Amino acid sequence: MEPKTLDPAQAFMAKISDRFKPVHDITARGTSSVQQFYCGATVFLTGGSGFLGKQLIEKLLRATNISKIYVLLRCKKGKFIQQRLMEMFKDPLYDTLREQQPKFVDKIIAVSGDVSELNLGLSDKDWNTIADEVDIIFHLAATTRFDETLKLATFINIRGTREILALGKAYHLFTCQQLFHTLVLIVLIRKYWKNFIQVRTYMQSD
């Protein structure tokens, strides 16, 4: 019986998988300082349905023993936030995670809101829950459309960032701000710095 030959695409993926095996082995140990930092942490994330957001969620769940992730979502195209969340996890990106942790979805909690609105469009209950439980905030939500109206772009990219910083300031979160032109990535960490705020801004070089 002749051995089964892989088509070019399967052979390429097998080669990539073999190349990353040492990395996966190290990740599986769970002993790195980064993994220890995130161990047991609760995260709040905006922009979770975007490209970077999906990658970050997958990485946090697969590579760390994180407690839970709150994901800010809004109803869109007639779909409720829970429906959007479930559809998001059908992405092949999560195939490996799904094999390793079949119940990973249990760690994800969708919260209704809109980054362009005051207080991120969160209800008082959700705002207080996030303030009480969350250790780390990732703000990835932004509009990168160059034909976006100035008003909406301002609400999303500027007011949304201001509201995230207001949340961090109100609850004494350490702040690390990174601005990549129109794409905003903000990390607010309360785990070790509860009583002061430090802001660092890095602009991507042209």
DSSP 127-138: HHHHHHH-SEEE
Rounded to the nearest 5°, which phi and psi values hold at 99? -70, -40
Rounded distance, CA 179 to CA 167, Å? 18
Closest CA to 101 of 135, 63, 46: 63
User: Which domains, and CATH codes, for the chain?
Assistant: 32-203 (3.40.50.720)
- In angstroms and rounded to an integer, the radius of gyration of the C-alpha atoms of the chain is 19
Cβ atoms of 163 and 170 within 8 Å: the answer is no
What pLDDT was estimated at residue 170?
65
> Whole-angstrom Cα distance, residue 44 to residue 39?
15
Helix, strand, or coil (residue 194)? coil
Can you give the pLDDT of all 206 residues of the chain as single tens digits? 455 666 777 777 777 777 777 777 777 777 788 888 889 989 999 998 888 899 999 999 999 999 999 999 988 887 888 888 888 888 888 998 998 899 999 999 999 999 999 999 999 999 988 888 888 889 998 888 888 888 988 898 889 888 988 887 766 554 433 333 323 445 555 544 443 333 333 333 34
**Pairing status of strand 68-73 against strand 42-46:** parallel
